[in-house]
């Protein structure tokens, strides 16, 4: 095999792609990964949306801004006096950039360690090899090359959805990219879309001093979240100062020299006009197949632009697979990674598996929201008989010691078998607590199983045990 011929070529080096490449190499395939992302210095920056303008930088800023808020508002309760508290936004943003670079470099290191050949550039299908032997792929950009692959994994991710008439300029009208790099705290920040990005980025900028107004199209808040949890979260976020307006119909968006005006009809139908120093538009994301050469080989897309795949990530073309945001399913980094691993294993003839019923969701606000499985409204709609148990963090000793008693854990279990059907948390460290529920559901545990397991004291995880006990109406501490 020449050095231009590969068993597996992965196009896209985000969490779906880079993990697929590493797993394929571990399984003994000669593997390449092509990724076009460059950092400000023009150097390769693999890791995709997640590493560069998504999960990692947003969590860095969420952490920094939370420290700032605690120093200003929470430390005094602990008997810690802070004077002269000042925000150094430049350092906060630089820290975030350093963390991103560490992750980019970490992936390049992992490619070397696993003998994955990395190409920095855009990968595009250039044609099919004879006798279904694979595909030719052109690499263009910083690196120019032509390579062949027996198997191709498309992992080209997604881009922010544009609102017609309000193009992103990343100065006044911001996608996630600009929202993570505002160089001065805006006095008034508008956010269109009260989804995951709107709430996370809205929280970051509110904590450091912006007056944040969120305009959401739907009349319900966080429709995919369990209603009881969403209601609690709405109450808490509003108390923190996020101005969340539901049921808004967005009209004209007009840019001034230094501001943006949004005209909209509010939930009563009344016409409103609001002017912001910056406007974040976070109304979902669209799959990215730009410049991939899909027409050259006839790769099938659905009507919304997603690469069509079966349950096992096989596309319409033999030997071509697709994973992550560019295919159906939740747009989450860990879902992309699981699909990447499963595809590499399927190429090797193994039985890769992704359980879509146990993919956890986390919104990294404060408090965090996390859930796995079905919501109460889904169970009702499906006519499933269930029992519910909740436990408030207010009654948890560790939460009191932390000074963070907001929220609750909620269990939903089958009324007859007691199998756990869903677990929903709004509260401190929900992102970590949810793992126990994911494990339990993977092993088809009952709520009684969790209720009978010894949990460390004092710990937030005792709230999980107590919520499981509450399913049988026998909480011990509430």
Catalytic machinery residues = 457
Cis previous bond, 458, omega within 30? yes
CB nearer ligand NAI, residue 283 or residue 402: 283
Give the pair of three-digit tokens for residue 38. 């460059």
Compute the least distance from the CB of residue 219 to ligand FAD, in Å.
Answer: 25
250 makes contact, choosing from ligand FAD, ligand NAI, none, with CB < 5 to 8 Å by partner type, with ligand NAI
Binding test (CB under 6 A) with ligand FAD, winner from 21, 336, 437, 468:
336
- How far is the C-alpha of 136 from the C-alpha of 126, rounded, in Å? 5
What does the binding site for ligand NAI look like in residue numbers (CB under 6 A)? Answer: 163, 192-198, 200, 215-218, 250, 282-285, 330-332, 362-364
CB nearer ligand FAD, residue 157 or residue 389: 157
Instruction: State the binding site.
Output: 59, 123, 156-158, 193-200, 216, 284, 325, 331-334
Burial 58-75 (b: 16+ CB within 10 A, else e): bebbbbbbbebbbeeeee
CB nearer ligand NAI, residue 33 or residue 166: 166
Compute the least distance from the CB of residue 445 to ligand FAD, in Å.
Answer: 24
CB nearer ligand FAD, residue 254 or residue 288: 288
Binding test (CB under 6 A) with ligand FAD, winner from 65, 104, 151, 156:
156
Compute the least distance from the CB of residue 196 to ligand NAI, in Å.
Answer: 4
- How far is the C-alpha of 238 from the C-alpha of 112, rounded, in Å? 48
Instruction: State the binding site for FAD.
Output: 59, 123, 156-158, 325, 331-334
Angle at 157 between CA 154 and CA 163, to 5 degrees: 140
Q: Where are the alpha helices (DSSP H) in 70-195?
A: 89-113, 176-179
Instruction: State the binding site for NAD(+).
Output: 193-200, 216, 284
Binding test (CB under 6 A) with ligand FAD, winner from 8, 21, 49, 92:
49
Residues 360-379 that bind ligand FAD (CB under 6 A): 364
Cis previous bond, 382, omega within 30? no
Going by their DSSP bridges, the two strands 408-414 and 386-392 should be labelled as antiparallel
Nearest to 364 by CA among 35, 107, 60: 60
Give the pair of three-digit tokens for residue 235. 């109450």
Compute the least distance from the CB of residue 125 to ligand NAI, in Å.
Answer: 27
Nearest to 210 by CA among 191, 187, 192, 190: 187
Is residue 58 at the binding interface for ligand FAD, with CB under 6 A as the rule? yes
Give the pair of three-digit tokens for residue 47. 């890791």
The site that binds ligand FAD (CB under 6 A) totals a number of residues, namely 38
Compute the least distance from the CB of residue 268 to ligand FAD, in Å.
Answer: 32
Contacts of residue 32, defined as CB under 8 A and 6 or more positions apart, other chains included, come to: 6, 8, 9, 10, 21, 116, 117, 118, 119, 147, 149
Nearest to 281 by CA among 369, 195, 400: 195
Please report, as ranges, the residues that interact with ligand FAD according to CB under 6 A. Answer: 11-17, 34-37, 48-50, 54-55, 58, 122-124, 155-158, 176, 197, 288, 291-292, 324-326, 331-334, 336, 364
């Amino acid at each position: 095999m020449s050095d231009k011929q590969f068993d597996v070529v992965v196009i896209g080096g985000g969490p779906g792609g880079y993990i697929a490449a590493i797993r394929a190499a571990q399984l003994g395939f000669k593997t390449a990964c092509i990724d076009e992302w460059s950092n400000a210095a023009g150097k390769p920056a693999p890791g995709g949306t997640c590493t560069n303008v998504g999960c990692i930088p947003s969590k860095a800023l969420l952490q920094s801004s939370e420290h700032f808020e605690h120093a200003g508002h929470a430390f005094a309760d602990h008997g810690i006096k802070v004077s002269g508290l000042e925000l150094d936004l430049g350092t906060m943003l630089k820290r975030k950039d350093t963390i991103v670079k560490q992750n980019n470099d970490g992936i390049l290191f992992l490619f070397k360690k696993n003998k994955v050949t990395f190409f920095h550039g855009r990968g595009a299908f250039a044609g099919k090899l004879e006798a279904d032997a694979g595909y030719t792929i052109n690499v263009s950009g910083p690196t120019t090359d032509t390579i062949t692959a027996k198997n191709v994994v498309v992992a080209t991710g997604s881009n922010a959805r544009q609102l017609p008439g309000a193009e992103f300029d990343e100065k006044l009208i911001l996608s996630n990219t600009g929202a993570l790099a505002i160089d001065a705290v805006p006095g008034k920040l508008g956010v269109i879309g009260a989804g995951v990005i709107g709430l996370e980025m809205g929280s970051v900028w509110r904590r450091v001093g912006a007056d944040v107004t969120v305009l959401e199209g739907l009349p319900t808040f966080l429709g995919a979240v369990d209603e009881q949890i969403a209601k609690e979260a709405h109450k808490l976020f509003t108390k923190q100062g996020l101005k969340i307006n539901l049921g808004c119909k967005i009209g004209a968006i007009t840019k001034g020299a230094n501001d943006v005006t949004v005209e909209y009809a509010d939930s009563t139908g009344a016409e409103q006009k609001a002017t912001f120093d910056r406007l974040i538009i976070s109304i979902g994301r669209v799959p990215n197949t730009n410049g991939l050469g899909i027409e050259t080989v006839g790769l099938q897309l659905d009507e919304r632009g997603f690469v069509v795949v079966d349950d096992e990530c096989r596309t319409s073309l033999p030997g071509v697979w697709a994973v992550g945001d560019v295919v159906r399913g939740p747009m989450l980094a860990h879902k992309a990674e699981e699909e990447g691993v499963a595809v590499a294993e399927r190429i090797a003839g193994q039985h890769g598996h992704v359980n879509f019923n146990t993919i956890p969701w986390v919104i990294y606000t404060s408090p965090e929201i996390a859930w796995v499985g079905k919501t109460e409204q889904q169970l009702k709609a499906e006519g499933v008989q269930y029992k519910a148990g909740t436990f408030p963090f207010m009654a948890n000793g560790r939460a009191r010691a932390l000074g963070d008693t907001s929220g609750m854990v909620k269990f939903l279990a089958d009324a007859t078998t007691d199998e756990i059907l869903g677990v929903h948390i709004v509260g401190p460290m929900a992102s970590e607590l949810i793992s126990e529920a994911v494990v339990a559901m993977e092993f088809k545990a009952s709520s009684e199983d969790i209720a009978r397991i010894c949990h460390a004291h004092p710990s937030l995880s005792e709230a999980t045990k107590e919520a499981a006990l509450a399913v049988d109406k026998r909480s011990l501490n509430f």
